[in-house]
Structure 1
């Protein structure tokens, strides 16, 4: 067995090694460019040396196997297991060419690995940036919601009270008509501000995630007429605010998608926190989704990205042909002691 170090055309450095222990030690001392190994040694084979090489940190050098007696099956196995090349000892004149070819292949492999690592790092950085921006947006939405609720909502309510007083004091019919019209427009503005606050930061979440999802289910059933069953393992599930918000947004988006595309007659929503994992599962009995629909870039990627902001994951189970769709959100939770009571609304079960 020999290892060629710093191999270049002007000053190749070659070391001869004849034991597996010395080979292991040599690899630990520093990298080499190419290893040329006889297939059979006293007590071990080239494939044993290859396994040692695979277990070492860093990049694997080009590995060439030499043999006079190895079978064709052994030669094929060596290449299949990762050796760059296999050369008969009676063709040693070709060794230099084989080494150059192996080094070229090794450089191409290393360049490919570097490129893939750089791409993976870029994707990871992009994902982290997107998650960070999503968190920033969510925090900004919450701040806007508080401002709309506290400042604008409070001002509109005070203005409505003042208009009511003016209406009580007014005597002329024309003034009263204007006051009534202004009051009606003001009431419309108040409802609009409440709807904006609801979209930005649902006040119902202040009652907890169980109550919030139950409210979504009830609103969905009243709005669409689709029979909706909601069950929860506890009447109160303790979870951080950001986890509750992600869970609420996931349920909200899933129900919106179901209303638009599922063509279903029943929906089941299950919320649980067993084994320190908050799990939300929303299942419909609609037409299901095709692979093309699932692969659309904007289909459910936003929900998946939102789930990652709280270290959660989103799974979509669906087949087209009227078998329905399940959207499952799973988020890890810190261990807590909760109630054993079960909350439920409706008794519908999908067949």
Structure 2
């Protein structure tokens, strides 16, 4: 619980060369009922040393031997401490007062109007404490967002690793068993004498072949092995499959056939394109999609645009609009970002990933070992 400013003992630094003026100000503040611990200094060296201590406020004369109150204010700003600063002077011009307020002074007043000092001091301290509370709240909010961001990145990595494990099991166990079963059925078909048996075996072979194709499709969705051929080849392959499946004309443009990318980035770009194409097929009512991959000034750019009906602003603000949010979080795991623009003439999604600058966040501590945890690599055959 915060103690009200007027009910607690305040620590005040008074920059004043006149002992008489110091006593006058001290008496005025105590007459207002304030409990004070006041220290008087009158040189820049003493001011610099005093600023190493905590203060509730600083009250400074303007005219001092060899320097002014504005110099004291500059020292306070250099210290980067948020301490209320009140400028007091026997005579101070309007221009000087305005300059002091612009520089960061909390208030200013004349020595012939010291009755206003106590209210001004209390107001300055309360305003400063409110500012400190906002700064602390912003700091905590930033830390909370950072923790959520790190959690999202960790979850993305965990999902990809789990997908890789499932894909390996399908490849090694299910795929291997189906292939062996197909060979056995083929052997039976070659050696069976009964026509009815051969027909049943042929039907079983078709079923097994369909199951093998389905398992391969599931493996590709879980873990795109095509990424071993590079991001460009993977996106071209994805675009071809998308066009065949949906009938939507899909083109891929790229500035180069091979793009060397750090670990993790190819999978982020691949998943971004995959999510964008899924959204096009579900919502866009488009007849044409264009995918562009480019590398310029150390930044990888992936743009997926369509000529569909666009996205309503309200759809992006939906509480359960997790697809776009997931793209933002996925991009952030490699230090990138996603820009989305939409109109009645279509939608454009752009992924940008700086490759030369340090990453904003690593995928996860486990991702440091590329051979074991790189989400872009196919794990085992």
Secondary structure of 2:309's aligned partner: coil
Select 2:36's aligned residue among 3, 7, 12: 12
Aligned residue number for residue 147 of structure 1: 169
Quick check: 1:4–1:33 contact (8 Å CA) kept in 2? no
Q: Secondary structure at the match of 1:331?
A: strand
Query: How many angstroms does 1:46 deviate by?
Result: 3.8
Is the CA contact (8 Å cut-off) linking 2:286 and 2:309 kept in structure 1?
yes
| Residues in 2 aligned to 1:48 and 1:174: alpha-carbon distance in whole angstroms | 104
Unmatched 5+ residue regions in structure 2? 1-11, 16-29, 358-381
Match of 2:198 among 176, 189, 196: 176
Q: Are residues 1:208 and 2:208 paired? A: no
Tell me, yes or no, if the aligned pair for 2:300 and 2:352 is still in contact at 8 Å: yes
Cα distance 1:97–1:333, how it changes in 2: closer, same or farther (>3 A)?
A: closer
2:331 paired residue among 296, 307, 316: 307
* Cα RMSD for the two superposed structures: 3.0
Alpha-carbon distance, 1:93 to partner:
3.0
Match of 1:38 in 2: 61
1:275-290 superposed matches below 5 A: 275-290=297-312
* Structure 1 counterpart of 2:293: 271
CA 1:41–1:82: 2 relative to 1, 3 Å? same
What corresponds to 1:3 in structure 2?
A: 13
Unaligned runs of 5+ in 1: 336-351
Q: What residue in structure 2 maps to residue 55 of structure 1?
A: 78
Distance 1:153 1:286, change over 3 A: same
Alignment partner, residue 218 of structure 2:
196
Task: Specify the alignment match of 1:259 in structure 2.
Answer: 281
Number of aligned pairs?
A: 329
Structure 2 residue aligned with 1:87, among 98, 102, 109? 109
2:291 partner SS: strand
How is 1:104-123 mapped onto 2 (pairs within 5 angstroms)?
104-123=126-145
Shift of the alpha carbon at 1:213?
Answer: 0.8
Report the equivalent of 1:225.
247
Q: How far is 1:123 from its partner? A: 1.1
Contact 2:14 2:41 in 1 (8 A): no
Is the alpha carbon distance of 1:244 and 1:14 closer, same or farther for their aligned partners in structure 2, counting shifts above 3 Å? Answer: same
Q: CA offset at residue 118 of structure 1?
A: 1.1
Aligned to 1:24: 48
